[in-house]
Amino acid sequence: MSTQTWDAALYDRHHGFVASYGQDLLELLAALPGERVLDLGCGTGDHVALLRSRRVAADGVDASAEMIARAGDKYPDFPYFAVADARELGAEDQYDAVFSNAVLHWVPEPERVAASVARALRPGGRFVAEFGGAGNVGTIIRAAQEVRAESGLPAAPLPWYYPTVGEYALVVEGAGLEVRSAWLFDRPTVLDGTAGLQNWVRMFATFLLDGLDEAAFFAALEERVRETLWRNGAWWADYRRLRLVAVKPGAPRG
């Protein structure tokens, strides 16, 4: 998994948009009462709690022990959270659906992830996912790398996997799943408060700060992107998302 470390409290405090933007993905999932669903990369547990409130037998896994601990603190009555690697879920024919929101771009070896998901699904089970697609946060990253270059530093290696629709469809189909729909779309996302851009970097891209004075870096970054990413008194992230629905061949269990 990615070596990114997570501040779970900061995530809940300033990045609630991650869970809120997953609401329409849950509607696409359309989980029925009694179905078994795995939230792959559950973060601090909000989607698991919502699914459980709808009488869906939802489990949540995340690679971050900090996130799982926070989920357990928030929802102490739910013994359904565990630390797990998306590439090695260890489940076989266990779930009617695997759901994943804003996670898979963090996980290297996408072929292993898709194979792990396919094993976890029952025949007829569905894989519903959304994550960063080709071009995601391109404005922020280009500007940040330019600031690093002007400071005499090399470009920071990027930990993310941002595929095109075609690239990811091949990965999923290579794992034996049938892609039913997949699309890439722009979703400009407002960040929290006047420090929203700084909080975004501190939460999701701390590697951009390596070797730099933070105050100087943020001043230069904000100056570069203000014209395009500052609107109506707030910072916006130039998100592009890839959304996919795939199905494991075979007849669902009756």
Mean pLDDT score across all residues of the chain: 92
**Total of domains in the chain:** 1
- pTM (predicted TM-score): 0.89
Mapping DSSP to helix (H, G, I), strand (E, B) and coil, where does residue 62 land? strand
Q: What is the CATH number of the domain that holds 66?
A: 3.40.50.150
Q: Nearest Cα to 93, choosing from 127, 118, 126?
A: 118
Domain assignment present for 209: no
Task: State the average pLDDT over residues 131-160.
Answer: 98
- Residue whose tokens read 């892609």: 179
In a domain, 228, yes or no: no
Residue 94 maps to a domain: yes
Percent of the chain's residues with pLDDT above 70: 91
pLDDT score for 79: 78
Domain membership flag for residue 153: no
Within-domain flag for 16:
yes
88 located within any domain: yes
pLDDT of 15 reads 43
For residue 37, the cross-strand partners are 58, 97
Phi, psi of 9 (to 5 degrees): -70, -45
Q: Does residue 217 lie within any of the structural domains?
A: no
Calpha distance 14→44 (Å, rounded) = 13
Give the count of beta carbons closer than 10 Å to the beta carbon of residue 241.
21
Structural domain including 74 reads 8-136+160-191+238-247
| Mean pLDDT (whole number) for 144-166 | 98
115 within domain boundaries: yes
pLDDT at res. 77 = 86
Express each pLDDT in 12-58 by its tens digit. Answer: 554 444 456 678 899 999 999 999 999 999 999 999 999 999 999 99
Contacts of 139-145 spanning 24+ positions with Cβ under 8 A: 139/225, 139/228, 139/229, 139/238, 140/197, 140/200, 140/201, 140/205, 140/221, 140/225, 140/229, 140/237, 140/238, 141/205, 143/221, 143/224, 143/225, 144/201, 144/205, 144/208, 144/217, 144/221, 145/208
Q: What is the 3-class SS of 178-241, one letter each residue?
A: EEEEEEEEECCEECCCCCHHHHHHHHHCHHHHCCCCHHHHHHHHHHHHHHHHEECCEEEECCEE
